[in-house]
Amino acid sequence: MSKRTIVNLLMLAIVVALTIYINRNPVEDNEVIDITKLTSGQVDTIVIQRDDETQIILEKVDQNWFITNPVEGKASPEKLNLLLKFLTLKSRHQHKITEQKQLHRYELFEPAITLFINDEQFDFGNTNDFNHLRYVLHEGVVHSVKDITQHLLIMNAESFVVVKDE
């Protein structure tokens, strides 16, 4: 037998072994799910915590939103609506965290930004370089979501205040 025949038979054996392995151990696709069951109508408190900076606190009083910390004033409805859009995001991939060291991969061991919506906590990590989805830790699961709120979470507190009554 020639070297070429041996190499081809070896490659065929590898392909057959991989095919058998894949058929016996199928890859489970993550389903696309809501990141939370919380709806914007249920929200009455939003807290943005960044590293060691002051918390930005937004509170709903009756039907109006106000920023109460570190400055006070009526909250911008446009920015608030964009922030609440986070609740409608779909989680494209989910990874259940079983060990704390897994959080380093997503830059979630000590997250730079944490968003509290009512009593629910969302820690923001880095983004996936390939698909640009943001990693968000919620209830022990890392979700990959569209990155639509990061720019709001890094704004200063004054940017949430309405400059003139709308």
Could you report the per-residue pLDDT of 19-63, keeping only the tens digit for each? 887 777 654 556 788 889 999 999 999 999 988 677 999 999 988
**What is the pLDDT averaged over residues 73-82?**
92
Do the domain assignments include residue 107? yes
Do the domain assignments include residue 54? yes
What is the Cα–Cα distance from 68 to 61, expressed in whole angstroms? 11
Range of the domain at 121: 33-160
3-state secondary structure of 161: strand
pLDDT score of 139: 94
pLDDT score of 26: 55
pLDDT tens, position by position, 95-130: 898 888 989 999 999 998 999 999 999 999 999 888
Q: Specify the number of domains making up the chain.
A: 1
Percent with pLDDT over 90 in the chain: 59
Sign of torsion over alpha carbons 110, 112, 116, 117: negative
Do the domain assignments include residue 3? no
Q: pLDDT category, 164, cuts 50, 70, 90?
A: low
What is the Cα–Cα distance from 131 to 126, expressed in whole angstroms? 12
- Amino acid making up residue 106: Y
Do the domain assignments include residue 13? no
Do the domain assignments include residue 27? no
pTM, full prediction: 0.78
Do the domain assignments include residue 7? no
Q: For residue 125, with 0-12 CB atoms within 10 Å meaning exposed, 13-18 middle and 19 or more buried, which class applies? A: buried
**What is the pLDDT averaged over residues 61-85?**
92
User: Is 13 a residue whose pLDDT tops 90?
Assistant: yes
pLDDT score of 165: 53
pLDDT score of 2: 87
Answer for the pair 114, 124: CB distance below 8 angstroms, yes or no: yes
Do the domain assignments include residue 4? no
Answer for the pair 86, 79: CB distance below 8 angstroms, yes or no: no
What is the Cα–Cα distance from 3 to 17, expressed in whole angstroms? 21
pLDDT score of 53: 73
Which of 105, 85, 80 has the alpha carbon at shortest distance from 35? 85
Do the domain assignments include residue 18? no
Token pair 């949430």 in the structure block, residue: 160
pLDDT score of 28: 53
Answer for the pair 90, 137: CB distance below 8 angstroms, yes or no: no
